Chains A and B, each alone.
Chain A
Amino acid sequence: MDRDKLSVLAISDSGFIFDPVTGHSYTANATGLRIFELLKEDKSEDEIKSILMEEFETTEDEVSVDVDDFIENLKKYFLV
């Protein structure tokens, strides 16, 4: 996973993300933004999952599927 791109993204609290390199924009929800933060902090996928489990009312299975799905999406959008 290439995390360099994350640093150039303009991420606002509203969930709006602008990529100044490609000119594309995205919207994400709060959980999505939290994953962005953790990715920027260089956390591993497993670390992200356990942090989310600590912070939110959820199960390991659910978080695991969701985080994988989310990161898949980021790859698809060439954001990581």
Chain B
Amino acid sequence: MKIVVAVSGINAVDNPGPGTGICKALKESDLDIRTIGLAYDAMEPGVYMDNIIDKSYIMPYPSGSREAFIERIKHIHSVEKIDVIISALDAELPIYMDIEPVLQELGIKMLIPTKEMFKTRDKLRLKELAETIGVKAPEYRSCTSIRDLHDSTENVGFPCMVKGPFYEAFKANNISEAEGYFHKIAMAWGYPIIVQKFITGDEYDVIGCGDGKGNDIGVFAIRKMTITKLGKVWNAVSIKNEKLIEATRKVVKGLSWRGGFEFEVLVESSSQDIYVLEINPRFPAWVYFAAGCGINLPERMVKLLLNKEYETNSNYDSGKLMIRFTNEMIKDIKDFEQISTTGET
């Protein structure tokens, strides 16, 4: 019997979610998996990628009611008999953390952080976390008003990064730019808005997955080579950096991290100090890079959840390149009709 895994974040657009990468990794694993896409919009590309996503459903937004969200999952579960959900979007994670017990009762398994872990990696608490793992955190302030923003930017100085509570980060060179980004982010994602000191250096990322008991089930590090205007990795190279891996493992151990994560750091050019920028509580959009290099974390996650044997090694080659590219698919308006009128493919 096929293992049924539902995956969200199948929006492989210019600000891509990790969902399609996860599905691709699952399809290439040695498990026999039926992939279910959980989309929030009829135009999410994953909906149309029937080579890696067997069926897609539209979900109600996580900003709506908890009940509506549960009802929808129950409906999908009644048809698909879902074994595992891999949540891949920051904004929906709180609702999954909240309803995990309900899902568990339905027989749906998830490997996600607890509310406590989620809070500890909150952007507002990075400083504490950085101290405990022995790295630095850039100066930052949280703002809920324009007045706060003015005070904060005065404190942090320009250029600075203006970041949302869930998504989006912009480099602001002056106060009017900062104000523009502040309003833009607040409109979409609410408060608080974070103003962070801008540090010049190289950006590195580590992807990994914690088992919830303090161990990782594999980590994989990269240096970002090119980044899009939205701050997304476009090209990257795999690296072996012991200092970085060690810091990552301290995070996993310190928080007993449960689930996928992305550890974003910056190494300052002038001092070579490691600054932690963010800990994303889910797989990043480039999750397939690791899978393609033998560290198939979605596969390991599913195996762990279903009590199957899984690898935990982090043996990969440095010097592998990830080249992301754009592509086109040709579909019929009928496909669009199907998803937009019935809510499923």
Q: Which of B286-345 contact A (CB under 8 A)?
A: 333, 336-337, 340-342
* B interface: dominant SS: helix
Distance, CA A62 to CA B336, complexed state (A):
33
Residues of A within 8 A of B337 (CB): 12, 14, 16, 18, 25
* Distance between B291 CB and nearest chain A CB, rounded to angstroms: 36
Q: Chain A: interface residue count, which band?
A: under 10
Residues of A within 8 A of B336 (CB): 25
* Distance between A13 CB and nearest chain B CB, rounded to angstroms: 10
A12-25 Cβ-contact flags toward B at 8 Å (1 or 0): 10111010000001
A38-68 Cβ-contact flags toward B at 8 Å (1 or 0): 0000000000000000000000000000000
Residues of A within 8 A of B341 (CB): 14-16, 27
Which of chain B's residues has its CB closest to A14's CB?
Answer: B341
Which of chain A's residues has its CB closest to B341's CB?
Answer: A14
* A interface: dominant SS: strand
Distance, CA A15 to CA B338, complexed state (A):
11
Residues of B within 8 A of A14 (CB): 337, 341-342
Residues of A within 8 A of B333 (CB): 10, 18, 25
Distance, CA A16 to CA B332, complexed state (A):
13
Distance, CA A25 to CA B43, complexed state (A):
13
Distance, CA A10 to CA B333, complexed state (A):
10
* Distance between B15 CB and nearest chain A CB, rounded to angstroms: 24
Residues of B within 8 A of A25 (CB): 333, 336-337, 340
* Distance between B58 CB and nearest chain A CB, rounded to angstroms: 13
Which of chain B's residues has its CB closest to A13's CB?
Answer: B341
Distance, CA A17 to CA B340, complexed state (A):
11
Which of chain A's residues has its CB closest to B333's CB?
Answer: A18
Residues of B within 8 A of A27 (CB): 340-341
B189-211 Cβ-contact flags toward A at 8 Å (1 or 0): 00000000000000000000000
Residues of A within 8 A of B340 (CB): 16, 25, 27
Distance, CA A15 to CA B342, complexed state (A):
10
* Chain A residues with a Cβ under 8 A of chain B: 10, 12, 14-16, 18, 25, 27
A-B pairs with beta carbons under 8 Å apart, 17 shown: A10-B333, A12-B337, A14-B337, A14-B341, A14-B342, A15-B341, A16-B337, A16-B340, A16-B341, A18-B333, A18-B337, A25-B333, A25-B336, A25-B337, A25-B340, A27-B340, A27-B341
Question: 15 extra interchain contacts, Cβ-Cβ under 8 A, other than A18-B337, A27-B340?
Answer: A10-B333, A12-B337, A14-B337, A14-B341, A14-B342, A15-B341, A16-B337, A16-B340, A16-B341, A18-B333, A25-B333, A25-B336, A25-B337, A25-B340, A27-B341
